[in-house]
Amino acid sequence: MPANVTVVQISDCHLQRESNSGDGSPDEALRRAIELATAAAPDVVLLTGDIADDASTEAYERVAAAVAVLGVPVLAIPGNHDEPAAVAATFGSVADYEIGGWRLCMVDTTIPATIAGSIDVAALLHRLGPIDGPPTVVVLHHPPITTSTHPWFQLDGAQQLVAALNARGDVRVVVSGHLHEAFNVVLGDVSYIGCSSSWYSLKHRNHEYMLDNGHVGALALSLTGDGTFSWRRLPDPNETSTLL
């Protein structure tokens, strides 16, 4: 049986061209997230979009240098603030990654010059292949599940995605960012987990969104060799769930 694997997700860092390490800055927030990630001893790190706020090369290079200290593979997808080509140039192309008997399926949901997202469900199902494949984590920037009705926070194709994944058996988890709001929803056999921003928190209610004092940090997934998993917020060890 493969060894257990720890995956740390860091999302919505929003670093800018100019470095700013003062209190409340995105650089300082990322430093704290890296400290949390270090304590979790990850085997792989996911960067799930809005890595830079201004799509600047300088911001991407600082994030890359920050996560490099972890000494593990870093998988990145772009968010609506990012330039996908620059993300790929810095962190590598979006791809599937297998570790510990699990598959991490990285999906770019961005639309050029658009805040909302879109997913090609047919293309994803083609990538996933037969339904008896390895236990899988699908990694997105835009969440398919949201309490927001604001058009900026929608994913075109979300309903089709949820229905398609519920008809399979291999996808156990879908992780995402974008909302700057932590959440966990279980639909069928799939857990949809929203990662907090490393920088600041928002609260979404219908068409409105506002700054909030909710969770800020990262997310850790523990993937076991028998296909089960657990997760926890970083730095909140009390919010935990274990699913078959």
Q: What is the pLDDT of residues 31-82, one digit of tens each?
A: 999 999 999 999 999 999 999 999 999 999 999 999 999 999 999 999 999 9
Would you say residue 17 has pLDDT above 70? Answer: yes
Task: Report yes or no on 94 lying in a domain.
Answer: yes
Structure tokens at 217: 């940090």
Q: Say yes or no to pLDDT of 214 above 90.
A: no
Is residue 166, in this structure, part of any structural domain at all? yes
Residue 244 lies in a domain: no
Given a cut of 60, whether residue 27 has pLDDT beyond it is yes
Residue 242 in domain: no
- Decide if 120 is inside a domain: yes
For the chain, give the mean pLDDT: 94
Mean pLDDT to the nearest integer, 201-208? 89
pLDDT tens digits, 123-149? 999 999 999 999 999 999 999 999 899
Domain assignment present for residue 243? The answer is: no
For the ranges 107-111, 155-159, 184-188, 200-204, the lowest mean pLDDT is seen at 200-204
CA distance 132 to 1: 17
- Lay out the sheet containing 96-99: strands in order across: 96-99, 102-106, 136-139, 171-176, 190-194, 183-187
Rg (CA), the chain: 16
Q: 64-78, 169-183, 202-216: lowest mean pLDDT where? A: 202-216
CATH, residue 47: 3.60.21.10
pLDDT at 241 over 70: no
Half-sphere exposure of 113 (CA within 13 A, CB side): 0
Kindly state whether residue 222 falls inside one of the protein's structural domains.
yes
Please check the confidence at residue 215 and state whether its pLDDT lies above 60. Answer: yes
- Read off the pLDDT band of 244 (50, 70, 90): very low
Can you give the pLDDT at residue 243? 38
Residue with tokens 């791809």: 95
Positive or negative, the Cα torsion across 114, 142, 166, 188?
negative
The verdict on residue 210 lying in a domain is yes
- d(Cα 66, Cα 213) in Å, to the nearest integer? 25
Q: Identify the band that residue 237 occupies on the pLDDT scale cut at 50, 70 and 90.
A: very low
Produce one character per residue of 161-192: b if its CB has 16 or more CB atoms within 10 Å, e if not: bbebbeebbbbbbbbbbbbbbbbbbeeeebbb
User: Total structural domains in the chain?
Assistant: 1
Domain of residue 143: give its range: 5-236
**Which of 101-115, 140-154, 196-210 is the least confident region?**
196-210
